[in-house]
Amino acid sequence: MDPFLITVPSTEGVQVAVHDYGGDGPPIIFCHATGFHGRYWDCVCSSLLENFHCISLDFRGHGNTVTPDGTSMKWSGMAEDLLSVIDHFRFKEIFGVGHSMGGASLLLAEKQRREAFKSLWLFEPIVIPTGPLADKLSRGNDLATLARKRKERFPSREDAFQRYASRPPFSTVDPDALRSYVNYGFDDHRDGDVILKCSGEVEAQVFENSSTGLFDSLSEVKVESKIAGSTDQQGPALLASDIAEALPNGKYEQFGGMTHFAPMEDPKRIAASISSFFN
């Protein structure tokens, strides 16, 4: 699958890379997790093109999006990137699908511009409650530390693929989804090897901005929403049902035997849930 790549201007001089897969039917925009990019949705989109027009984007700091030095990685900026893409296409109605940070960005965009979306399907959006629970469940600092230690360069994309496939969290994902992530997620380096497009430093800054205060205003987000969660007993999974309950028109769906990386673990199952909810 080779979607058509376009560039859309956003705020702060950001030029958002957008992947237009085409397809027949109403449009869906797909929003990725921290450290990833729009193309890991390839396998999900391929299952939906008979009934939907699929589009994904690379948020600032990720993928092929041009991000000026010093650009803030606040999640409000991710919402601005998303709204810029929506404005570019001028769809009368659009559905939104998001994973992790991408799910939170969709909720932030809908809060900023009510009725921007017809419905939202979100897998474990990162929406952290304020107060003592936030201190317990927000692992931004730990995740940022790990991100800054991340191995960024490999001899080749094949070497990167084999390393990721051999260990968690990617050892359980669909091989084709992992290929999409690796093939598009690395740039050719001048020394002949490959390097991650989203650097560990940028990924760390995104994690450090994960406490958005959004949870306390979820009652203002009226759009019909499906919040999906895994059974891995990690923070995002434990919060998913609470987020669904806090949304006036939220519903919850649990994906047994899966983890926070479910959109890459079983793309066909994820696509079936999306299609059922939006039809």
Query: What is the structure's pLDDT at 142?
Result: 82
- Tens of pLDDT, residues 41-66: 999 999 999 999 999 999 999 999 99
Interatomic CA distance for residues 170 and 177, integer angstroms: 10
Q: Is the pLDDT of residue 140 over 70?
A: no
Q: Name the β-bridge partners of 255.
A: 230
Verdict on whether the full-model pTM lies above 0.75: yes
pLDDT band at 132 (very low <50, low <70, confident <90, very high): low
Spell out the domain ranges in the chain.
Answer: 4-129+213-278
Query: What is the structure's pLDDT at 134?
Result: 59
Q: Is the pLDDT of residue 5 over 80?
A: yes
Query: What is the structure's pLDDT at 137?
Result: 46
For the chain, the C-alpha Rg in angstroms (whole number) is: 17
Fold for 4-129+213-278, please state it: Rossmann fold (3.40.50)
The one-letter amino acid code at 84 reads: S
Query: What is the structure's pLDDT at 211?
Result: 85
Mean pLDDT of the region 78-95: 97
Query: What is the structure's pLDDT at 136?
Result: 45
- Tens of pLDDT, residues 144-179: 889 999 999 999 999 999 999 999 999 999 999 999
- Tens of pLDDT, residues 189-219: 988 999 999 999 999 999 989 889 999 999 9
